């Protein structure tokens, strides 16, 4: 685990790096000696407990030492790293933004001023944990120099606490992509499988809504088209909260369900597919510019379950981007103006994602990689019969508690994907 922590922090602030490396050296000449003293002192008092404690402590130290080996294999420009967290660059940007914030004419342009202050607050929030950790490491090094036997328990506890803190910061580094802090739009599209696919789409919609609720995010259903008999043909959800896109980008792709169909009179096993799309919800200033002449805007009456039109006014909005053929719609709001604004947000996000996709495909073409586009590339399978299992085919992570996953327990899958992207271990998807 800490090998990947070192993988993430090696391009960071040089003071923290030197301090951690000093801790590695201290392990060889100081901490290990103290452990042996501790083992000898407790040999008669409780052999089993002492061996257990010493073994755990030595294993902890070994994980620290492995960081040094992992750092030699660090590739800061690796395309699978998920973005590099450059602390020194962030400190320089903070200094620049602080100068801008001190200008007396800053608030002459309120929109620019708000973006500047928000960016400054975000950067400070990002670097403060690293600076605090740097101080903690320095404090541990000072205690270690004393090599006092009465400090053993405190040193062991603090080293383990630093290890946990590094583990948390490592995961935050995984969410340091350009849009990871953004809120997100998540769209579901029922694919092959007929009614079962539509029912599966509704199951996934419930799963993501439950996940968002568990994380304290605000989830708003902006578009939904019901199936004729059951389930939904498509749905779009706006999920608002810090790092929503960073987590949800691990869900993009085709999801597969295997179960005994409740819609089959013979109760046979069916396989169905749902496509999940995720885009960051970006401020208009950061999004793709759209020419109004490229848009075809239509209004229609919002529909409810069963396809019955309950609205007398045409408040729902459908927007077609003519150059790309992208179609988005929103019918959740009562006001046509609000629906149009939400639809435009979704369109900007989709156009931005399209530009990113073109860039990735061009890079893959240059590198000679094969880009697979289609429904045969499922990223995750939900098997409910003849056994229960949910497995992510990109990372190999799986669980037998399928119901918990469908109830919104997705953090383990998301974390496994994000960690795999750093190690270059993602398969397909």
Q: Is 218 in the same domain as 314?
A: no
User: Is 405 within the bounds of a domain?
Assistant: yes
Q: Is 167 in the same domain as 214?
A: no
Q: Where are the beta strands (DSSP E) in 97-207?
A: 183-190
Among candidate residues 174, 197, 221, the one where a domain is terminated: 174
Among candidate residues 174, 196, 230, the one where a domain is terminated: 174
Q: Is 130 in the same domain as 51?
A: yes
Q: Is 163 in the same domain as 18?
A: yes
Please, is 267 exposed, middle or buried when counting C-beta atoms within 10 Å of its C-beta (0-12, 13-18, 19+)?
exposed
pLDDT of residue 365: 58
User: Is 380 within the bounds of a domain?
Assistant: no
- Residue ranges in 27-109 assigned as alpha helix (H): 32-41, 47-71, 87-101
User: Is 381 within the bounds of a domain?
Assistant: no
Tokens 């205690």 -> residue: 143
User: Is 90 within the bounds of a domain?
Assistant: yes
Q: Is 275 in the same domain as 288?
A: no
Q: Is 46 in the same domain as 142?
A: yes
Q: How many CA atoms lie within 13 A of 238 on its CB side?
A: 20
pLDDT of residue 254: 93
pTM of the model: 0.65
Q: Is 345 in the same domain as 404?
A: no
Q: Is 28 in the same domain as 158?
A: yes
Q: Is 17 in the same domain as 153?
A: yes
pLDDT in tens, the chain (429 residues): 333 333 333 333 344 445 554 444 444 333 333 333 333 333 333 443 434 434 444 444 444 333 333 333 323 333 333 445 677 788 889 999 999 999 999 898 888 888 889 888 888 888 888 888 878 877 877 777 776 667 777 777 777 777 778 777 777 778 877 788 889 999 999 998 999 999 999 999 999 999 999 999 999 999 899 998 899 999 999 999 988 999 999 999 999 999 999 998 888 999 999 999 999 887 765 667 788 899 999 888 776 544 444 555 678 889 999 998 899 988 877 788 888 888 888 888 888 888 877 876 765 554 444 433 345 678 999 999 999 999 999 999 999 999 999 999 999 999 999 888 866 566 655
Length of the chain: 429
Give me the number of domains the chain comprises.
3
User: Is 398 within the bounds of a domain?
Assistant: yes
Range of the domain at 145: 2-174
DSSP 382-397: EE-SSS-EEEETTT--
Is the CB of residue 90 less than 8 Å from the CB of residue 126? yes
User: Is 145 within the bounds of a domain?
Assistant: yes
User: Is 24 within the bounds of a domain?
Assistant: yes
Expressed in percent and rounded to 5, the helix, strand and coil fractions of the chain are 55, 20, 30
Among candidate residues 174, 200, 221, the one where a domain is terminated: 174
Q: Is 216 in the same domain as 298?
A: no
Q: Is 45 in the same domain as 131?
A: yes
Q: Is 150 in the same domain as 51?
A: yes
Query: Can you give the CATH number for the domain in which 255 is found?
Result: 3.30.70.1660
Query: Can you give the CATH number for the domain in which 316 is found?
Result: 3.30.160.20
User: Is 363 within the bounds of a domain?
Assistant: yes
């Amino acid at each position: 685990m800490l090998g990947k922590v070192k993988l993430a922090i090696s391009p960071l602030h040089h003071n923290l790096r030197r301090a951690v490396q000093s801790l590695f050296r201290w392990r060889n000449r100081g901490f290990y000696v103290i452990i042996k003293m501790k083992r000898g002192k407790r040999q008669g008092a409780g052999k089993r407990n002492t061996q257990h404690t010493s073994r755990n402590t030595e294993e902890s130290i070994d994980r620290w030492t492995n960081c040094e080996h992992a750092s030699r294999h660090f590739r800061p420009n690796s395309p699978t790293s998920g973005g590099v967290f450059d602390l020194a660059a962030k400190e320089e940007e903070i200094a620049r933004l602080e100068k801008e914030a001190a200008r007396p004419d800053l608030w002459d342009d309120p929109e620019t001023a708000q973006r500047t202050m928000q960016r400054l607050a975000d950067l400070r929030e990002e670097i403060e944990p690293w600076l605090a950790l740097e101080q903690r490491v320095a404090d541990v090094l000072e205690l270690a120099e004393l090599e006092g036997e009465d400090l053993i328990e405190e040193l062991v506890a603090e080293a383990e606490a630093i290890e946990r803190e590094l583990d948390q910061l490592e995961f935050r580094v995984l969410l340091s992509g350009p849009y990871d802090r953004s809120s997100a739009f998540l769209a579901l599209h029922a694919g092959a499988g007929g009614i079962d696919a539509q029912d599966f789409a509704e199951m996934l919609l419930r799963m993501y809504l439950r996940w968002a609720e568990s994380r304290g995010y605000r989830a708003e259903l902006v578009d939904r088209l019901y199936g004729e008999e059951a389930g939904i043909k498509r749905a779009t959800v706006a999920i608002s909260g810090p790092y929503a896109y960073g987590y949800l980008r691990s869900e993009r792709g085709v999801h597969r369900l295997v179960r005994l169909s409740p819609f089959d009179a013979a109760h046979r096993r069916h396989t169905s597919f749902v496509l999940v799309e995720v885009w960051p919800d970006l401020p208009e200033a950061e999004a793709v510019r759209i020419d109004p002449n490229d848009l075809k805007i239509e209004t229609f009456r919002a529909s409810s379950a069963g396809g019955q039109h309950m609205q007398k006014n045409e408040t729902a909005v459908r927007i077609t981007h003519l150059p790309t053929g992208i179609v988005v719609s929103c019918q959740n709001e009562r006001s046509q103006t609000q629906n149009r604004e939400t639809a435009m947000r979704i369109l900007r996000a989709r156009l931005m994602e399209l530009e990113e996709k073109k860039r990735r495909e061009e890079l893959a073409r240059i590198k000679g990689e094969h880009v697979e586009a289609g429904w045969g590339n499922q990223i995750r399978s939900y098997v409910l019969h003849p056994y229960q299992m949910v497995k992510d085919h990109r990372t190999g992570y799986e669980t037998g508690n399928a119901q918990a996953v469908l109830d919104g327990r997705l953090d383990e899958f998301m974390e496994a994907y994000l960690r795999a992207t750093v190690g270059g271990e993602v398969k397909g998807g």
